[in-house]
Every structure is written in structure tokens, then in C-alpha cells.
Structure 1
Amino acid sequence: MARFAAILVTVLSVGYVRAIAVPSTTPSGAVSVDPSLVSVSIEFFAFPGYTNITGTNNCLANLATLRGAQPAVRIGGTTQDRATYNASLQTAVNYTVASPADAPTSLTYGPSFFTLANGLKGDVTVGLNRQLNNQANTLSAASLAKSSVSRLLALELGNEPDLYSSSSPIASGTGWSNSIDISNEAKWFTALAPTLGNIFQGAVYLSWNTSTLVSGIGSAALATIKTISRHSYPQSACGGASTNLPSLMSHSGIVSYVSQYKAEATIAHNAGKKFFLGETNSATCGGGGISPTFGAGLWIIDYVLQSALIGVDRLYFHHGTISNCAYCWWGQSAVYSPYYGAVFVSEFLGADGAKLAALDNGTSAIAAYAVYSSANAPLRLLVVNTNYYNGTGTRAATTVQFTGLTTASGTKSAKRLTAPDATSRTDEGAQVTIGGNGTFSGSCVRQGTEGTESVAVNGGALTVSVLASEALIVYL
């Protein structure tokens, strides 16, 4: 042991080499992974438009093929609290905007909205209006959602009530606060549950801690809650705020950021509720310049896995106004750089991945993970080099040596996710690839031949090299 420790110190002192031991069986810190861990949120008013995009079904199907389960879809966002149900409306939605890039300030929606939602193949969460304080209207819509959406998981009443104000209709002129919202959610849930069942998604907070709702809403209302939702955006692009790609994709930064949700997840689980990041993405207000980049795709990989490790059951990545959405994964006729990260992390987890383990201590730019089978055998390794490379100067590589493999000698295969640099955008012509030549068509159909690299195993160890702003899966 002393001799190995001395060797390890020597190896690590080089600076660009990491030596990592792979537990031969599932380690104690490993966590179970929901098959729909990587899921999607779609802005309420834009949802019908997304169902008309061929890429929507194809992009979701690609993830389903890799994980063996459909991604869940949450339909909601700011415009759910601007929407009024109209049972006589012949179209799914009706609104007027000055520009197609705008979101409506008010809208109506009809029964066919839920017909479209029923066409989704995974779990569906529908967000409905609470801010306008029209409980009867919301109940009418919720009743139709319950009866017509066969895969309905939950109903969400209100979006980000922490952003409501004393002038919001729901406040009724008495002010607004976290405690008032908790009381209001309790009143709505207990009033509607006799008709709808215990099917509500609670909290839906951007800034308030969801634990306050779980502990303060009371046992009767808590019994009506099926899932707990927290919204999460590491950065903001609102009001001219600046975003920073190196900070977004930093592994140690991601580890630190997601740690804030661990206590909330634990409290939700102790109450028997699933804990979701029910709306999330790289930055608020669409994400600005960082969100369409390859670096954001690498962030997705690390962010998803770190979130799972602290107890997040699912992450719903938000998709906003079609053709005006920097953080979206696809559009009318294009697939964007971040989607490659969603695909790559889904391939790493696979349909057979039962438990996830972190293999690094979270303090450097190098992220290393292992996924284990239900039989407790290691299946795949993942390295994400989150060192930022913007295309100038030397693109440094980090060498990672994995030791303790059950295979003493031979070869393993590896697949690489790469791009010219972290700022690469497919919508600007840059080529992001999986396995050397794998890409996606404008309608999200996989194209090109994905190749693998051969990695030699000697003495139960293998060594891989991963460039700055790149990721690699090793298949064991």
C-alpha cells in the first residue's frame, strides 16, 4: 500500500495525469438513477408549436432508445399563469403577439391542447394557472387533463409563485409571501383533490426553499402532493446580466452549485415525494450567448450526474419560444450543440445502468463517473474534461488512468464527444460529433457512423487522454 501511494503521488504531481481506482462492485455512495432522469420542460404557450416540429418526437425518441424509457415532459412556465381555459375554443391555443419571437402576455387554450399532450409517450406534467385566482376555470382544465391525458403524472398549479407580487390577483390585496403561498397551495390542493385525486406537484419555486412547503403545508394538503418541484438556473441572462461559460461548465463549480439542493431532496424523499428540478437550464431569460454552445452540452452531462448524486430524481430542461430560445435543444429544422450532451449522458447511463457513482472528489476540472449494473458490476466509465478551451492557443489534454479493473489485460472500447472548442455552435456551422462522425440531421435523426477507440488494458489498468472541453465514455 505504501509503495502504491508513493507511485500515485508521483503520477499526480505531473499535473495533467489523474489516477482513479474503479470499485469492482457498486460503492456505498452510489445512487439509483431514474430512467427518465433527463427530461424536458416546454413553455405552455409554445407547446402546441413543438408538437408540429418533427424534431420533437425524434429528439425524445433518441433519448428513450438510449435509456429504455421515454423522457418525461412538463408543460408549463411563465405563460401557464397567463392562460385561461376556454372549453369552446377550436384551436389548442389562441393569442396575439407583435413578433413571432415574443411570448404572449395573455392567452386562451382549448380542449385540443390536452389532445396534443396525450400524444406524448412519457410521463406528462401539466402546469395550470393559479396566479389569476380563477379556481373554477383551472379545475375545468385540470378535470379534462385528468380524463384525457393517459400518462398524466402530476398537475402543477401556478409557476414560480415566489415571483408573484401583492398586486397579483391571487394575493387578493393582502400581500404575498412564502407563508401565504404555502397556505394558498394548501387551500387549492385540498379543494381540488376530491375531484382530481392526489396528483399535485408542489412548490414550483425558483428562489424559495421547497422544504418550507413540505414542513409547513400540513398533513392533509401534503397527502395531495405527488411530486415536489424546484426550478434551477445557475446563471441569468435577464436584464442585460452577463453570463460566463467557463464558470458554467466548471466541474468543481457544478459540484458546489447542486449541493444546495441536497437537503431539499432529502426532506422531499423523507415525506415520500419525488424531488424534481422541474424547470432548469443554463441561464434564465433564454441563456444568452453561453447556452447554445458545446460547453453548455458538457455542462448538461456533469450537471445531470451531480444532481442525481445529491438526490434529484429528474431534471426537466426547459424549452421556450420557438426560434427565440438560446438554451433549446432543437428548433424548427435544427439540432443544437447542448443536445449532444443530453444524448451522451444518456448513452453513458444506458438502459442497463442501475447505480451511479462519482470517482473523483469534485475539486478539480476533471469529472469521472462509473455506472453499475443491477448485478453490481461496473459497466461504463465517463470522463468530462471541463477545462475551458475557446479555440485559441494550445488545447491541453488530461491523461486519466483507471485502475482496479476486473480485466487484467486486453482491450476496451471508448467513444468520444468533441467539438472544435467549448464555444462551438452547430447553428453557426461548427461540427459537434459523437464517436468521430456521429451527428444529427435538422429533424434530429442520427446520421453518420459513430466509431469507437481501442484502449489497452494492462495489469488491470487502462489509460485515456481527454482534451480540454471534451468527454469520453469507456465501455467495460
Structure 2
Amino acid sequence: MHFPAFPLILLLFTKSSSCIPTATQEFSAVPISKQIASLSIEFCYIVDYLGDNGSNKLSKQLLQNIQDISGVPPLIRIGGHTQDAAKYCSDCSETLVNVFVPGNLEAVNVTYNKNLFSILNNHVPSEQQFIFGLNLGQDIEIFPQEEVEAAEQYLRDSRVQSYELGNEPDFYGPSQRAAPWNVQTYTSQVVSWIKEIQASTKTKRGWQFGALAQEAQWQGNFSIPEFNVLDVPENIKPLVAYSDHTYPYSICSSATAALVSLPGLMNHTTTVNYFTQWIPSIQAAHSVGTLFYMGETGSVSCHGKNGVSNTMGAALWELDYVLNGATIGMDGVFFHMGTPFYYSMWQPVEFNSTAATVYPTCVSFLSSS
């Protein structure tokens, strides 16, 4: 089943079109990656999206549609806050178990067994690849080491593009790290852990570094350019990508929620101006021969806003975002999803008596493929 998109948009962005834009301005003109529009799925919801005992037919068909159009499916990052609550459990009987607390749509504890890797191997299109998120947040090194050991044993080599150790470490609070916690202590710990994981597991797979939450203009030196100063590229090999995260709007507080509007989101000039702040980070990544990913993003943080994030207007904004991101040199834009999140491109299973459904934003995804 193929879902309709705007015929004109699809015409403009087919593989053979001479209208495909290239990165210009400060960047050399290069073709845009077929995976410029990619996905980030909250770890605790990955089985909802891909299925357990059988594949999720809706998700598999949507991903297959994209592969049919562009030749490859979108990269999928499995991560988010719940990657820092996830642990591999070799003797657990269920594929994935989540523990939720009232009022929180993100699990506070996640355990999974080897069947998760079977799902990643078999419930997706033939060319599917993943960025697999590892647990840094709980500050116990054996957790990510056991995750990598299991992935190396059970996950096909072709399925893993890279590992990502930790989610939004620049926002770790006192419950996750004692002071001082800064770019130096973060980099020192992650470089050390990755080297030890590589030595113990013999993995040759690549790494994605950063996954920073703060907007570039407010990062200070907890930033991608500073990672270069601290010799991350010399110490992490292969370094596949640097990653930042952003959501232009937020409903995480009443003050920020009052600023959210669909016309504001769709304003092209605002979009262009907003993303220029990442140009130094993009340049820093490319200067050391690695990729820059906007590794988790969406319209409105704290899971989106009904009537804004799940509208055709948001779909047009996403298309504008991807093309503008490509123009300034982004190598991938990863739109975040979770089963109950309003900014998801589709809801994979029934939730709160609402049947599985595809949202208008999925049209933009198909169009930019």
C-alpha cells in the first residue's frame, strides 16, 4: 500500500530531477544524501514500531515505500531518553519490557533480550540500517558493554551503521552525574568507555558522538567544535558522525507552550534563520571528515502539540527543514517518533483506543526521499 503525496512535490524531488538542490554558500556543492530525511525512534517504543512475534505491517510497508522511491530506507536511530534507561537482559523471557510511572510517556526502566536483534534483522526492508543507542546515563559501564556484546553476536553487520553512547549528556542532572560535569569530563569518560568496549568486544563498528540537547547558540564549549579541540576524532575510530538535537518549539513549560503556533512553525524565514546557528558545528564535523546529523528533532519538544505537530502544515515545515538543512550541509535530519507522540509520522499500534494511523507528516517524508 502506497500513501498519497503531492504529485508536484514528488515530481520535483525524484532521483532524476534536475531540481534537486545542492549544498551551497560556505559548503562545496555536493549531492544530497538519499537518507537526508531519517528517523529516530524512542527506545522503549521500538517493538511497537517494528513488531514482536511478527513484523508491524504498517511500519514495514511505509519503510519499504521509501526504499522503493529512493533505493534505500531511512536510517533509524533507536535512542532518546530511554536508551539511558535500557539494559540488555540475557535471561529475560520477553523481547522488551518497559516500566512506566504515571504521567510519563517515556519508560523509566527498559530491559530487552536477544529477540530484539532478531526483529531488527528481519522485520524491516532489505537495506535497513540502524544507529543503536547505548546506556551512558546510568553511569555503569557494564550496561553498554553488554549491549554491544549482544549486538555483535546477534545483529547482522549490515544492519548497524553506528553505536551512540548516551542521549543528551549535556543535560545530565545531579541524579545522573556528580559535579563537575562538563565537556571535558564527558569527553574523557566516553572516549575511555568506547576504547574499553572496543577492546573487550572486538567491535569494528562505527560511533556517533555527541547527541547534544542544547541549541548551538547556547552550548558554550559543550559543543561539536570543542570535541575537535579535545581530540575526539583522533581517539574515536571509526567516528561516523557528530550529532546535535533540536526542537524549535516546546510545550515543556507554560511559558514556552504559549509561543507555539502553526503559522510560526511554517514561517520559512524563521526556519532559515533558526538553523544558521548550526553552521559552525557542521563545518567542524566536515573539517575532520565526519558527518553532521541533526540526530533527533521535531516540531515541538515534550512529544509534540496536537493540532500543530500532526498537521499538513507541519508536513510542509518538515520538507522545508530538510531541504534547508541539506543546503547548509547537514548530512541527516532524524525526526523523532514514539507511539503516543504527536510529532510522530505514524502511530504503529492502537493507543488509548486510537487505531494505528499515518499522520500528514509522513507525506513530507515520502516527498523528501
Q: TM-score, normalised by structure 1?
A: 0.63
- 1:374-453 to structure 2, matched below 5 A, reads none
Query: Which of 85, 89, 93 matches 1:86?
Result: 89
Q: For residue 40 of structure 2, what is the aligned residue in structure 1?
A: 41
- Shift in alpha-carbon separation, 1:24–1:184, aligned structure 2, 3 A: closer
Q: For residue 184 of structure 1, what is the aligned residue in structure 2?
A: 189
Who wins on radius of gyration, i.e. which is larger?
1
SS at match of 1:181: helix
Q: One-letter code of the match for 2:269?
A: S
- The separation in 2 between residues aligned to 1:104 and 1:26, in whole angstroms, is 40
- Shift in alpha-carbon separation, 1:114–1:100, aligned structure 2, 3 A: farther
SS at match of 2:244: strand
- The separation in 1 between residues aligned to 2:42 and 2:23, in whole angstroms, is 39
SS at match of 1:276: strand
Q: For residue 231 of structure 1, what is the aligned residue in structure 2?
A: 245
Q: Quote the offset at 1:50 in angstroms.
A: 1.0
* 1:134 has 2:140 as partner: yes
| Structure 1 vs Structure 2 CA RMSD | 2.4
- Give % identity: 28
* 1:325 has 2:302 as partner: no
- The separation in 1 between residues aligned to 2:292 and 2:326, in whole angstroms, is 10
Q: Quote the offset at 1:27 in angstroms.
A: 8.2
Q: Quote the offset at 1:166 in angstroms.
A: 3.1
Q: For residue 360 of structure 2, what is the aligned residue in structure 1?
A: 337
Q: Quote the offset at 1:218 in angstroms.
A: 4.3
Where does structure 1 lack aligned partners over 5 or more consecutive residues?
Answer: 1-22, 347-476
Deviations 1:54-96 (A, max 9, x none): 2211111222222121111110100110112211112221123
Q: Quote the offset at 1:174 in angstroms.
A: 3.9
Q: One-letter code of the match for 1:102?
A: L
Q: For residue 352 of structure 2, what is the aligned residue in structure 1?
A: none
* 1:200 has 2:207 as partner: yes
Q: TM-score, normalised by structure 2?
A: 0.81
- The separation in 2 between residues aligned to 1:175 and 1:142, in whole angstroms, is 28
- Shift in alpha-carbon separation, 1:155–1:279, aligned structure 2, 3 A: same
- 1:348-367 to structure 2, matched below 5 A, reads none
- 1:18-417 to structure 2, matched below 5 A, reads 29=24, 30-52=29-51, 53-97=56-100, 102-119=105-122, 120-121=124-125, 122-150=128-156, 151-168=159-176, 171=177, 173-194=178-199, 195-197=202-204, 199-207=206-214, 208=219, 209-218=223-232, 220-240=234-254, 241-242=256-257, 243-289=260-306, 290-320=308-338, 322=339, 324-331=340-347, 332=349, 333-346=356-369
Deviations 1:291-319 (A, max 9, x none): 01111000011100000111111111110
Q: One-letter code of the match for 1:132?
A: Q
Higher relative contact order (CA 8 A, sep 6+): 2
Residues 115-124 or 270-279, more deviating: 115-124
Q: Quote the offset at 1:25 in angstroms.
A: 12
Q: One-letter code of the match for 1:326?
A: Y
SS at match of 1:134: coil
Q: One-letter code of the match for 1:317?
A: F
Instruction: Tell me if the contact between 1:41 and 1:74 (Cα under 8 Å) persists in the aligned partners.
Output: yes
Instruction: Tell me if the contact between 2:136 and 2:166 (Cα under 8 Å) persists in the aligned partners.
Output: yes
Where does structure 2 lack aligned partners over 5 or more consecutive residues?
Answer: 1-17, 350-355
Q: Quote the offset at 1:24 in angstroms.
A: 10
Q: Quote the offset at 1:192 in angstroms.
A: 1.7
Runs of 4+ more than 6 Å apart: 23-28
- The separation in 2 between residues aligned to 1:100 and 1:68, in whole angstroms, is 41
- The separation in 2 between residues aligned to 1:293 and 1:210, in whole angstroms, is 33
